[in-house]
Amino acid sequence: MGKKLSYFFKFFLIAVLVVLGAWSPMTFAATTVPISSFRAHDIIYSVATPYSGGFVVVGSRDDNLYVLNRQGKLVWKYTTPNAVSSVAVSPGGHYIAIADQDSEIYLFKNHRLLWQKSLQTMPSAIAVSRGAETIAVTFPVVPMLTEFAANGTQLRQVIIPAGGVSIAITGSGREIAIGANNDDLYVMTPGGHVLWSYATNGTVNGVSMSPNGHYVAIGSQDHHVTLLNGQGRVLWRYDFGHQINGVATDRHASYVAVATNNSYILAVLNHQGTLVWQKNTGAPNTSVALSENGSVLAAGSQNDLAYVISTSAALAQYRAFEMELHAVYAGIVLLLLLGAWWAWRRYRRTPQAQQLVANVARHRISYIMLIPTFVLLLLFNYYPAISGLYHSLYRWNPGAESYFVGFHNFVMMARDPFLLVGIPHILIMILFGILLGGVGVPLLVAELMFHLRSSRMQYVYRVLFIIPLVIPAIANILIWENIYNPDIGLLNETLHAVGLGGLAQNWLGNPHLALAALIFMGFPFTNIIAILVFYAGLLAIPGELIEAARMDGASLLEVIRHVHIPMLTGQFKFVLVTSVIGGLQSFGVPLVMTGGGPEMSTFVPGLEMYYAATKYSEMGYSAAISVSMFLVILVLTVVQMKFIRTSATD
Amino acid sequence: MATSTAAVERVEAVKRTVTPRRKPSVSQAIIHVVLIMFVIFAFVPLVLTVFMSFRSYGQVLIDFWALPHPWLWQNYVTAWNGVGINILDSLGYCLASTIFTMALAGISGYVFGRHKFPGREVLFLVVLALIMIPGILTLIPTYVLVTYMHIVNTPWALILPWTSGGQVLGIFLVRSYIAGIPEEIFESARLEGASEWAVFRYIGMPMSWPMLMTVGVLQMIGTYNDYIWPSLVINNTNMQPVALALWKYTSTYTISQMGPEFAAYVIAAIPLIALMAFGMRYFIQGATSGAIKL
């Protein structure tokens, strides 16, 4: 047995070393996608790029139209009297059409203004076809589609079912897609004849068509990005968890870019909805554009920056990373299999091996009886634990592709104010928890009960202290929330009743008092488990010991100090360890009572972990917090075990 | 464990017979006064809850310290209409999980305690190591797992993880309990031709019953009080266990609904009252077992 284990152990070590060796070069690859940015003087409203991706057109609230090269350097700019709300560029890149918030539209050819038109109402979005044969404009308020020719004449003005907020046009100009504020997408002819429509559950903020119109990508306020084919059939639909402000697709919709309101620019692969790459810009993003082959991605953000990103590099790196990852996993499995096979070969011929096989077969009923336990433990305890450890190194997107970020999540923890402020809070709570509800009051109560002469009364008090436990834990928290109520809470009413009304407070609303209020919630701290533990410990002290001390003339306090306390060492350790380990993980009371507030004054690490996962879908970050707490607890447990072993040998 | 409990009882019995009855002394009176103070304060939330559950917001506004006038029994009707179904839900989930936990702890604790088979120590170590894994590490990954399994918003999302986590302590308790029973009892049954399963079913299970009851009481209390895990996996209002439902109930209604809210707390306490009435000694045994193990 031991020999076999040591073989296994050796191979495991070798496998780990090999994996670490392979891992180190590739970990940083994913972070070096070429990305350049350009800073405007105000929010970027709109970006566009021609099929070639040769340059990027940017419209900003600072009234400027900017043209950037692929390196994000300014090539040309044009200043209008008001914010540039929408920009479009013709497929070949010759024409640029823009709309501003003075209800003016402009057409440029090769950086030269061709014409400028005033409209009756403010346009929301503009699109331009290959030779500027059609310049299509929609309006948020009026359900209208207006089209102009290259020379500036108005071709037609048609009524459409709803006001448009986004627009796209095919290269030929034969189909126009409009994302409407009635949550529908309309694909229509230039004459306003609706070919098909598609309903979402939110305003369609972004729409993009592949050059031939075979694919239409839409992003909606309902958090979904949907890819449809030219007939309106859904190819895929993907929930990003936040409002979508812009989408863009390449020629074959093999690549779709998304701008979300929660500050992410994302690149998504077709078919699987696989996330290939993403960037957090720190502010809501307004618009994205993609070149025809998907190699250039442009994006605009409310942080005044326009980004130009070489996605081909990101894609290539993603592919390489994926392959490496698979190779490493295959390597681990292969090594382990090889090791196991080798160990087994050496071991098989020995007589012990034959005996073992016979032994296992003879005791098969034992193994069968253990199957249910182990199936559950592996599935619901070991798998999640390993998954948490593993995904703490990932940008974890359950349901989509996750990717490796190394220790990024852990680095982020050092910069997370909610987490940092939570550490002293939890330490204070644990400290007071131990002093009051862990040791102080329970030891006092146990000693008092122990010194009662009537064992019937001892029993009565034991039961009395158990009775409050019938209040469900959550109800206890909610009841205390009511006790702290500033207007009709028991605490303030009591203060008023005894003439201390001046001390009445909004206990949970005051950032200086809220944490103390949470600690005081256990009042009078008659924690029944600790009482029972100490009480049982006192009963287990041999009577002769106490009698002997008494004979020597020891007073009651001396007996407690020199006999009781030393004999209760195990109980102290138990209470201490369970208080610290349980306390570190706890966040139920702040979650229910204060939500971490007011002003972060009751935030604790567990709460930040819970919120990261449930509110912000930062699963990888949440896992990193829990892994850190696990490591702290692990160290404490090991220390505690050492202590107990030494005390046992005393 | 078993021997320690027996020792405690023995000591109590000795104290009862040996300690002579003396006249009440001053020191005894002081002890009673201090203990009664603690009891009174510990009962404040309980008493407040019972009185508030019969009052309305208006009554409280007029005079906080007054008794209910009139006693608003309809608060309980309102509360039952709000969370009654959730109490039944909770009973279903918690009983199922408790029965499964007792069964698994009984079987596996018995196998680890009585069977000798190759790999027993290693397998037990696999169970033992779970003590090192805190719940906070597995909370969110288990939630992801449960969504992958498509059992969110079904009873299984609660029963399976609760059972899996709860059986660990149960296996320890049952294993050490059953290891303290003399081997001859089991051996004689085997000699008479009983199968391994029959030995477990007719000797192992009945003999470990007191410890299994402790496991069951602890599991019932633990699951009935859990609201964080259900908050992740049960969104359907009519399916939420009562602990979660009370939280949502109180945060949905304003303070003006405080009468029915307190009534709901009282109703939700009834299953725990029943459990305590029947299983208090199992609870005491379970509460102290951890410390004695150390």
Burial of B129 (0-12, 13-18, 19+ CB in 10 A): middle
In chain A, how long is the greatest CA-to-CA distance? 116
What is the distance in angstroms between the Cα of A579 and the nearest Cα belonging to chain B?
13
pLDDT bracket for residue A650 (50, 70, 90) = very low
pLDDT bracket for residue B271 (50, 70, 90) = very high
The confidence score (pLDDT) of residue A551 equals 85
The confidence score (pLDDT) of residue B1 equals 41
Nearest residue in chain A measured CA to CA from B258: A482
Domain boundaries, chain B: 75-293
Looking up tokens 């119109």 gives A213
Cα distance between residue A256 and residue A246, in whole Å: 11
Cα distance between residue A501 and residue A493, in whole Å: 8
The amino acid at residue B132 is: M
Average pLDDT over residues B217-238: 92
| DSSP 8-state secondary structure symbol assigned to residue B68 | P
Of B11, B132, B287, the CB nearest to A634: B132
Closest CA to A50 of A33, A77, A70, A75: A70
Which helix (H) or strand (E) element contains residue A528?
helix A528-540
Is the model's pTM score more than 0.80? no
Cα distance between residue A139 and residue A162, in whole Å: 9
Work out the mean pLDDT of chain A and round it to a whole number: 85
The confidence score (pLDDT) of residue B264 equals 94
Average pLDDT over residues A236-259: 83
Q: Among A374, A470, A586, A631, which would you mutate to test the B interface (most chain B Cβ atoms within 10 Å of its Cβ)? A: A470
Task: For A351-395, write each residue's pLDDT tens digit.
Answer: 877 888 888 888 888 899 999 999 999 999 999 999 999 999 887
Of A381, A463, A581, the CB nearest to B165: A381
Average pLDDT over residues B55-74: 90
Chain B hits for A648, Cβ within 8 Å: none
With CB atoms and an 8 Å threshold, state whether B61 touches A488: yes
**Highest-confidence range of A221-235, A261-275, A393-407, by mean pLDDT?**
A221-235
With CB atoms and an 8 Å threshold, state whether A367 touches B272: no
The confidence score (pLDDT) of residue B245 equals 93
The confidence score (pLDDT) of residue A18 equals 59
Of B4, B200, B246, the CB nearest to A475: B246
A190 half-sphere exposure, CB direction, 13 A CA radius = 19
The confidence score (pLDDT) of residue A110 equals 87
Chain A hits for B244, Cβ within 8 Å: 474
The confidence score (pLDDT) of residue B23 equals 56
Beta carbons within 10 angstroms of residue A491's beta carbon: 20
Of A455, A474, A578, the CB nearest to B227: A474
Of B41, B163, B261, the CB nearest to A524: B41
> 3-class SS at A246?
strand
Examine the pLDDT at A644 and tell me if it is beyond 70: no
pLDDT bracket for residue B25 (50, 70, 90) = confident
Q: Among A356, A452, A474, A495, which would you mutate to test the B interface (most chain B Cβ atoms within 10 Å of its Cβ)? A: A474
Q: Among B11, B17, B35, which would you mutate to test the A interface (most chain A Cβ atoms within 10 Å of its Cβ)? A: B35
Average pLDDT over residues A519-534: 90
With CB atoms and an 8 Å threshold, state whether B291 touches A469: no
β A255-260/A135-138 pair status = unpaired
| DSSP 8-state secondary structure symbol assigned to residue B132 | G
CATH class, range A43-296: mainly beta
Chain B hits for A359, Cβ within 8 Å: 117-118
With CB atoms and an 8 Å threshold, state whether A529 touches B287: yes
Task: For A170-205, write each residue's pLDDT tens digit.
Answer: 888 888 999 998 889 999 988 888 888 999 888 999
Chain A hits for B32, Cβ within 8 Å: 452, 457
Examine the pLDDT at B22 and tell me if it is beyond 70: no
Examine the pLDDT at B6 and tell me if it is beyond 60: no
Average pLDDT over residues A59-86: 91
Cα distance between residue B123 and residue B22, in whole Å: 56
Task: For A425-465, write each residue's pLDDT tens digit.
Answer: 999 999 999 999 889 999 999 999 998 888 899 999 999 99
Helical pair A528-540 and A569-585, crossing angle rounded to 10 deg:
160
The confidence score (pLDDT) of residue A646 equals 46
Cα distance between residue A282 and residue A22, in whole Å: 33
The confidence score (pLDDT) of residue A332 equals 85
Q: Among B140, B186, B252, which would you mutate to test the A interface (most chain A Cβ atoms within 10 Å of its Cβ)? A: B140
A20 half-sphere exposure, CB direction, 13 A CA radius = 6
Domain boundaries, chain A: 1-33+311-362, 43-296, 417-649
Task: For A268-282, write each residue's pLDDT tens digit.
Answer: 665 555 666 777 787
Nearest residue in chain B measured CA to CA from A479: B45
Chain A hits for B197, Cβ within 8 Å: 365
CATH architecture entry for B75-293: Orthogonal Bundle (1.10)
Q: How many residues does chain B have?
A: 294
The confidence score (pLDDT) of residue A323 equals 74
Average pLDDT over residues A8-31: 52
**Residues B157-168, buried b or exposed e (16+ Cβ, 10 A)?**
bbbbbbbbbbbb
Cα distance between residue A481 and residue A565, in whole Å: 36
Burial of A22 (0-12, 13-18, 19+ CB in 10 A): middle
Of B115, B132, B261, the CB nearest to A366: B115
pLDDT bracket for residue A648 (50, 70, 90) = very low
Nearest residue in chain B measured CA to CA from A363: B117
Task: For B133-192, write each residue's pLDDT tens digit.
Answer: 888 999 999 999 998 888 988 999 999 999 999 999 899 889 988 888 888 888 888 888
Task: For A320-342, write each residue's pLDDT tens digit.
Answer: 766 777 777 788 889 889 988 88
**Going by CATH, does the domain composed of A417-649 fall within 3.40.1280.10?**
no
β A224-229/A125-128 pair status = unpaired
With CB atoms and an 8 Å threshold, state whether B160 touches A376: yes
Helices within A254-310 (DSSP H only): none
Beta carbons within 10 angstroms of residue A295's beta carbon: 19
| DSSP 8-state secondary structure symbol assigned to residue A77 | E
Examine the pLDDT at B3 and tell me if it is beyond 50: no
Examine the pLDDT at A469 and tell me if it is beyond 50: yes
Beta carbons within 10 angstroms of residue B7's beta carbon: 15
